[in-house]
Amino acid sequence: MSDRYDRQQEERPAQEQARQPGLEHEMEPRPEPFAPEYRGSGKLDGKVAFISGGDSGIGRAVAILFAREGGDVAIAYLDEHEDAEETKSLVEGEGRRAITIAGDVGDEAFCSQAVERTVSELGALDVLVNHAGEQHEQQRFEDIGADQLQQTFRTNVFGVFHLTRAALAHLPEGGAIVNTSSITAYQGNPTLIDYSATNGALVALTRSLAISLAERGIRVNSVAPGPVWTPLIPASFPAGKVEDFGEQTPMGRIGQPEEIAPSYVFLASSDASFISGQTLHPNGGTVVNG
């Protein structure tokens, strides 16, 4: 499998997309979400999961593995309709139900409506995956304007608050919340300062919420990926930077969504029944001590 990943790293051409969120169907090569060697074992049998940012990238890979483990999935996304429908088909191809819900997680009303629709159509809500996010590169700190700062926090942090508050009306004892942070929360990033700050906030939120919800039997953890080949990369960086993105990792390459998704399965399942307030670091070997 390493040979396949190394080959894809070598074959990735320079590219960029002039929009956020990015579009997976326009990437070359396409990200790898399928985890062909992963065998489901019923870890999420009968469970219902809500995944924000579930249309593409890591979110798509998580949706596929959740379905392979026996779960039904609600896929929330902004406006990437083609990608979302493809992910829905992939979940259904695993023999599970899926619904797609378009809207902005920064809008509290949308979050409430999306959770209610999930419960209405899929019958329950057992796992919340807060994955939607955005980032905007700026070479100088002074170039981060108030509008960008507010928008990045609105999506990456406020969206997590809104969805979590809505989900708590339905999550049962034994339920799980899995947040997506980033290696930037631990290492920082000189051109993604506001994005790094939002991910630091999510680490603190994960720890605090885990303590708060322990008495309700709801676990809260997070995943902090390193560089991963998702639509966010060509949507965030210039073409030349995209071409060699990820080569700074100890493994010398970018990660693939299928390599990140098992962390979410673990944290969502009863295998992690004694784990809460923690962060997993699938990042290509970088030690961050967090």
Is 195 one of the annotated active-site residues of the chain? yes
DSSP-assigned states of every residue in the chain:
-HHHHHHHHHH------SSSS--GGG-SSPP----TT----STTTT-EEEEETTTSHHHHHHHHHHHHTT-EEEEEESS-HHHHHHHHHHHHHTT--EEEEES-TT-HHHHHHHHHHHHHHHS---EEEE--------SSGGG--HHHHHHHHIIIIIHHHHHHHHHTTTPPTT-EEEEE--THHHH--TT-HHHHHHHHHHHHHHHHHHHHHGGGT-EEEEE---SB-STHHHHHS-HHHHHTTTTTSTTSS-B-HHHHHHHHHHHHSGGGTT--S-EE--SSS-----
Q: Return mean pLDDT, the chain.
A: 96
Going from N- to C-terminal start, the domains of the chain cover 2-6+42-280
pLDDT in tens, 114-153: 999 999 999 999 999 999 999 999 999 999 999 999 999 9
Catalytic residue among 5, 77, 186, 195: 195
pLDDT in tens, 41-87: 999 999 999 999 999 999 999 999 999 999 999 999 999 999 999 99
pTM, two decimal places: 0.96
Give the per-residue pLDDT at 1. 61
Does position 112 have pLDDT exceeding 90, yes or no? yes
pLDDT in tens, 8-22: 777 789 999 988 889
Q: In the structure, what pLDDT confidence band is assigned to residue 290 with cuts at 50, 70 and 90?
A: confident
Q: Say which CATH topology domain 2-6+42-280 has.
A: Rossmann fold (3.40.50)
